[in-house]
Structure 1
Amino acid sequence: MSDPAPEHASGLATAGPADPEHDRTASYALDPGYVRALTDRVVSTTGESVPTYSPFTGQPLGAIPQSSTADVETAYRRAQRAQEAWAATPLEDRSRAMLALHDLILDRQDEIIDLVCWESGKARKHAFDEPLHVALTARYYARTAHEHLDPSRKAGVVPGLTRVEVNREPKGVVGVISPWNYPFTMALCDGLPALMAGNAVVHKPDAQTMLSALLGVQLLEEAGFPRDLWQVVAGPGRELGGPMIERSDYVCFTGSTATGKVIARQCADRLIGCSLELGGKNPILVLRDAAVDRAAEGAVRAAFSNAGQLCVSMERMFVADQVYDRFVARFVERTKAMRLGSGLEWGSDMGSLISKAQLDTVTAHVEDAVGKGARVLAGGRARPDLGPYFYEPTILEGVTPDMTCFGDETFGPVIALYRFHDEAEAVARANAGEYGLNASIYSRDGKRARAIARQIRCGTVNINEAFGATFASIDSPMGGMRQSGMGRRQGAEGIHRYTESQSVATQRVVRFAPMLGMSDQAYARMMTANLRLMNKLRRK
């Protein structure tokens, strides 16, 4: 990075474009041969392609071949054939491939991060989260495969005479539709447990970040997974989504609530399952006993990581009267000190938004709020001097229900501050609205904060942390309540969603019918007495 540019009127310190002589711009990220090696993995016979662009400059990075509905059918046929052999592969062999992927990702993390930065425009420190999260996911499911997938013994109805086992059988071919905001981790993290459970994947990444997803598929092959096991198609969701759902045995989608509802209806028509991580308007609560400096540091990450383009980032902050003024002063100070910049080097605190459409949404939300009386405490404007889609990290005060950003998801670097008088009020306001994805609570009293967390209607709650504690704890489930989705990724739920449970019971000696000339009535009396006895013995 070059030296910081002079501080602007808004108070934000900024980093200018990288010095071409010192910028570690990796040539492979723009090299046509490198791009072709990735895009060869797209199932496409149309002869059509569309360019993908870098938000840093607005210039094209490469051309992505487009898939037809016939290509979708081809992808599913290939995946289905590969899945049949893969399902018969021992768990030990699947785990070895998963652990090889773990090491390969760590070895190649600079390449992954560079490509993610080029395609998404995010700061390098936020791009680092992506290989980190995928490596954690790969290692977790490799190490816990037997725990989650081995046949398990259950209690039989007649102790000692009824043996019951539950098997976990793969669904078949899983359709994964992944978003642009975390193009590497969201491309892989949902599909890895599907592979571990013996499934194949047909994947449609978002058009804006295809290359990062395709790099992930290349690494899967290099780690030892069969090539046809993970198929990639490219094209508009409105054209390929329906054919994918028609051929999938299960669907995993991350994106908007509106699209998620359409997918849920289509899956219901076929009686197949789906998991959906959808929108959020996530709250952060700063309680009266919070450590102010720690809360202010966490709030910066909560609101502005990946320029706010994170499903679990915070857009509403409720701060107790007792610490409001001190907290706001520290939060504004930290926000204004953030370094904005483009390029591949470490040092920037925030990068670019992904597109003009995203910039337009953020701009419209802030202008609407300010026009109706909200106050800008930091940020509040676009920064075309840094790149076409940069927008300053923005803190608003005085946001009211008639403003668009009060209840609608902005999905950008904008957060609204609200003062509260008592914690019951804060919980009620945090639960207001239709979403329930993630929340954060700052307090020195962990026990009290955990009790308050039980009252928050969100799928994950982080205490004294923005979102990383739950996001990186792969053994725990992650997902949304209410309009923020259904199903969970991570943990046991994250892999069991891709399996069918099969109960197998072996009965010995007695049968479930009258024996030795016993009448039906006598049989009923005997079974009733047995039930009473089992209850007295406190048996299940």
Structure 2
Amino acid sequence: MDRNNTPSSDVVTPWRRAVIHRHEAGFAAWSEQDILARLSVIRGLRHRIAENAFDLVASLKSRPARQAAESISAEILPLAEACRFLEREAAGLLAPKLLGRRGRPVWLFGVEAEVRREPVGTILIVGPSNYPLLLPGIQAVQALTAGNRVLVKPAPGCGAPMVLLGRRLEEAGLPPGVFRVLDESIDAAEDAIADGIDKLVLTGSADTGRAVAERLARHLVPSTMELSGNDAVFVLPGAEVELIARALAFGLRLNGSATCIAPRRVFIPSGMAADLEAALLSHVGSLPPVPVSLPTRRRLAILAQQAVAEGARALTDLPREDSQAMAPLILADAAPTMAMLCEEIFAPVLSLVPVMDMEQALDAAAACPYALGASVFGPQDEARTLAGRIDAGTVTINDLIVPTADPRLPFGGRHASGWGVTRGAEGLLEMTQVKTVAIRKGRSRPHFAPPRQGDEALMLAALRLLHGGRGTRIAALRRLVQAVRGRSVPDEKHRKG
């Protein structure tokens, strides 16, 4: 360090390493390619995904309880659709935006401006275990489309689909080294951060997000984080109880309920609660137990016992620590302040909260720190109105989870559920950094001249003419004309003085 506390030139800081990475041959060749050339690689990847789908299914061995049809529908097909979305939309989204005359300040006459989107540089993607292909896969293809170099740190036991994705990308023409899969250890991500990255995209728990955010802050590295959820379901009067029960059973079944936007808290009018309880039991009784980790089972056993002690009713058996698999747990008469309804849960758990009306439901939902997704069931117009008041990143009406697979939709949470978005146009733009370019035409540069007498009156008159009320503008126009003619009239305040 020199006396100004700045790094000496022979010290390679993470920031300088990131700059060095940007000048590596493979990355430079990729980032400087025309967008259509980059999209030809994405198109080639999509074709290979379709032609080799069962190779990808076989690579998803970390989800042993999932059938091939579910892997294809939940991970592989949405990934292919995300590629096609980029092929159709990315060129327009990433093209420089020329700003015309409309909205340009009059005192900037002769200036043309444009907004450009450029690659961030090296992006580290930290993937989850529940959807080890879909989530990091979409983030990776968006980052690559934007011209970035991508490092992926898979969750433990989930590296195979990312390795296979990298192989398919290189077969499609991606230069070697532009997409790299790290080992699955925490140290791999920490080493990448220390070595120098330009952005991090994380899908994980809130606790992991906090720890990583603190680490990134020391290096001033930006991030996008999709963190935990404890999703709410709002039931409006007039909603079809049978449809709701089928939807909730689907949410408990899909991927073993290890889905960040699976339903967890159901706010239902008190008069409808008994009917929903009966309908739910008729649908979840046939759902098979699913594997749940020992730490999660232990925590759930405590939370469930606490909830029952506080007045909740268990409609199904409470989880047991001595069993590796867990059947769905449904609690009725739950209160929004119970710990079960305020923590992140990755297991088939559902709590029914009776409410008087949707005002009480919104207040109850706010007791939870997570705000990733929510669903509303009921008449469409009322549901749309309620959706506008729900504090969540994603709201689905009369359905669960599946509509979020639309590649046009951005996805992200609020509060303890993270920040920033992935997917959709907004997710692609998050993989870029903004550069503005302004061009002054002609030879006139009046602002280069030193201040002159009368400039104050001229500027005040212009300000009032452009931004004052009607009477102010008329008076200002007279003053402006006089100021331009060199006969500036003193400001009223100065005149009184």
Same fold (TM over 0.5): yes
Deviations 1:87-135 (A, max 9, x none): 1111111111112222222222233223325545334443221012211
1:157 aligns with 2:105: yes
Alpha-carbon shift at residue 382 of structure 1 (Å): 6.0
Residues 99, 138 of structure 1: 8 Å contact kept:
yes
The alpha carbon displacement at 1:532 in A equals: 4.6
Match runs of 1:220-299 below 5 Å: 220-237=169-186, 239-246=187-194, 247-299=196-248
1:444-498 Cα shifts (integer Å, max 9, x gaps): 2x222121112211111111111222x2222222111111101111223212222
List alignment gaps of at least 5 residues for structure 2: 1-16, 471-497
SS at match of 1:409: coil
1:527 Cα offset (Å): 4.4
The counterpart of 2:441, out of the listed 493, 508, 514, is 508
Per-residue Cα deviation, 1:334-375 (whole angstroms, up to 9, x for no partner) = 11133x3xxxxxxxxx7534x444444444444554566543
| Structure 2 match to 1:133 | 78
Residue 291 (structure 2) aligns with: 352
Distance in 2 between the 1:412 and 1:439 partners? 17
For 1:475, the equivalent position in structure 2 comes to: 408
Mapped partners of 1:77, 1:225: distance in 2: 17
Structure-2 residue corresponding to 1:3:
none
Structure 2 matches for 1:88-127, cutoff 5 A? 88-117=32-61, 119-127=63-71
Change (3 A) 1:300 1:393: same
**Is this contact kept in 2: 1:161–1:509, CA < 8 A?**
yes
> Cα deviations across residues 132-169 of structure 1 (Å, max 9, x unaligned)?
22112111122111221110012543476110011111
| Cα deviation 1:401-460 (Å, max 9, x = unaligned) | 67542321221001111111111001111122211111010012x222121112211111
Which secondary structure state, in structure 1, belongs to the residue aligned with residue 60 of structure 2? helix
Alignment match, 1:431: 366
Structure 2 residue matching 1:202: 3-state secondary structure: strand
Moved more, 194-203 or 473-482: 473-482
Structure 1 residue matching 2:37: 3-state secondary structure = helix
Q: Which deviates the most, 110-119 or 296-305?
A: 110-119
**Structure 1 position 78, deviation (Å):** 9.6
Q: Which amino acid aligns with 1:132?
A: L
C-alpha distance 271-518 of structure 1, shift in aligned 2 (>3 A): closer
Alignment RMSD, CA only? Answer: 2.9
Q: CA deviation at 1:293?
A: 1.9
Quick check: 1:201 aligned with 2:150?
yes
By how many angstroms is 1:380 displaced?
3.8
Per the alignment, in what secondary structure is the counterpart of residue 164 of structure 2?
helix
Residue 489 of structure 2 corresponds to none
Partner of 2:481: none
Out of 146, 158, 164, the position equivalent to 2:91 is 146
Whole-Å separation in 2 of the counterparts to 1:79 and 1:294: 56
Residue pair 1:78, 1:228 contacting (<8 A) in 2 also: no
Letter in 2 for 1:241: A
Residues 334 and 354, structure 2, Cα contact 8 Å, conserved in 1 = no
- Contact 2:26-2:177 at 8 Å conserved across structures: yes
Q: Work out which structure has the larger RCO, using CA pairs closer than 8 Å and 6 or more positions apart in sequence.
A: 1
Distance 1:442 1:402, change over 3 A: closer
Give the structure-2-normalised TM-score: 0.82
Query: Which has the higher mean CA deviation after the structures are superposed, 188-197 or 267-276?
Result: 267-276
1:77 positional shift: 5.0
Secondary structure in 2 aligned to 1:207? coil
Note if contact 1:290-1:442 (Cα within 8 Å) is conserved in structure 2.
Answer: yes
Q: Secondary structure at the match of 1:478?
A: coil
CA 1:252/1:130 → structure 2, altered by over 3 Å: closer, same or farther? Answer: same
> For residue 520 of structure 1, what is the aligned residue in structure 2?
452
Measured against aligned partners, the alpha-carbon deviations of 1:173-232 in whole angstroms (never above 9, x if no partner) come to: 001111101011122111111101100111110112221222222222223222311111
CA distance in 2, matches of 1:521, 1:512: 18
Counterpart check, 1:448 vs 2:393: no
Deviation, 1:521, is 4.4
Structure 1 distance, partners of 2:50, 2:421, is 26
Check whether the contact 1:142–1:196 (CA below 8 A) recurs between aligned residues.
no
What SS does the aligned partner of 2:114 have? strand
User: In the alignment, is the contact (CA less than 8 A) between 1:140 and 1:474 conserved in 2?
Assistant: yes
Deviation per CA, 1:375-419, whole angstroms, max 9, x where unpaired?
Answer: 3323544699xxx74211221123346754232122100111111
Equivalent residues of 1:80, 1:200 under 8 A apart: no
**What is the 5 A alignment of 1:393-404?**
393-400=328-335, 404=339
Question: Following the alignment from structure 1 to structure 2, what is the Cα–Cα distance between the partners of residues 80 and 287?
Answer: 57
- What amino acid is aligned across from residue 393 of structure 1 in structure 2? P
Whole-angstrom distance in 1 between the partners of 2:179 and 2:127: 14
Residue identity over aligned pairs, in percent, reads 27
* CA distance, structure 1, for counterparts of residue 452 and residue 178 of structure 2: 54
Question: Do structure 1's residue 178 and structure 2's residue 113 form an aligned pair?
Answer: no
Q: Are 1:377 and 2:315 matched, yes or no?
A: yes
AA of the residue aligned to 1:476: L
> Structure 1 residues 506 and 131, CA, compared in 2 at 3 Å: closer, same or farther?
same
Helix, strand or coil at the partner of 2:383: helix
* Amino acid in structure 2 at the alignment position of 1:451: T
Paired residue secondary structure (2:407): coil
TM-aligned CA deviation for residue 327 of structure 1: 2.0
Check whether the contact 2:291–2:326 (CA below 8 A) recurs between aligned residues. yes
Q: Decide whether aligned partners of structure 1 residues 122 and 524 sit closer, same or farther in structure 2, where only a CA change above 3 A counts.
A: farther
Partner SS for 1:462: strand
Give the number of equivalent residue pairs.
447
Q: TM-score, normalised by structure 1?
A: 0.76
Alignment match of 2:345 (pick from 410, 413, 435): 410
Please say if residues 95 and 116 of structure 2, whose CA atoms lie closer than 8 Å, have aligned partners that are also in contact: yes
Q: CA deviation at 1:535?
A: 4.7
* Superimposed CA distance per residue, residues 232-288 of structure 1 (whole angstroms, 9 cap, x where no aligned partner): 111431x23332223110111111111111222222222221001111111111111
The Cα of 1:531 is off from its aligned counterpart by 4.5
> For structure 1, which runs of at least 5 residues remain unmatched after alignment?
1-72, 341-349
| Rounded Cα–Cα distance in structure 2 between residues aligned with 1:198 and 1:227 | 14
Query: Does the 8 Å CA contact 1:361/1:410 hold for their aligned counterparts?
Result: no
Q: Which moved more, 1:314-323 or 1:115-124?
A: 115-124
Distance 1:266 1:520 in 2: 52
> How far did residue 84 of structure 1 move?
1.1
- Return the letter of the residue paired with 1:481: R
1:216 pairs, out of 165, 173, 192, with 165
- Comparing 500-509 with 124-133, which one deviates more in the overlay? 124-133
Give the structure 2 partner of residue 10 of structure 1. none
2-side partners of 1:382 and 1:105: how far apart?
40
Query: Bigger radius of gyration, 1 or 2?
Result: 2
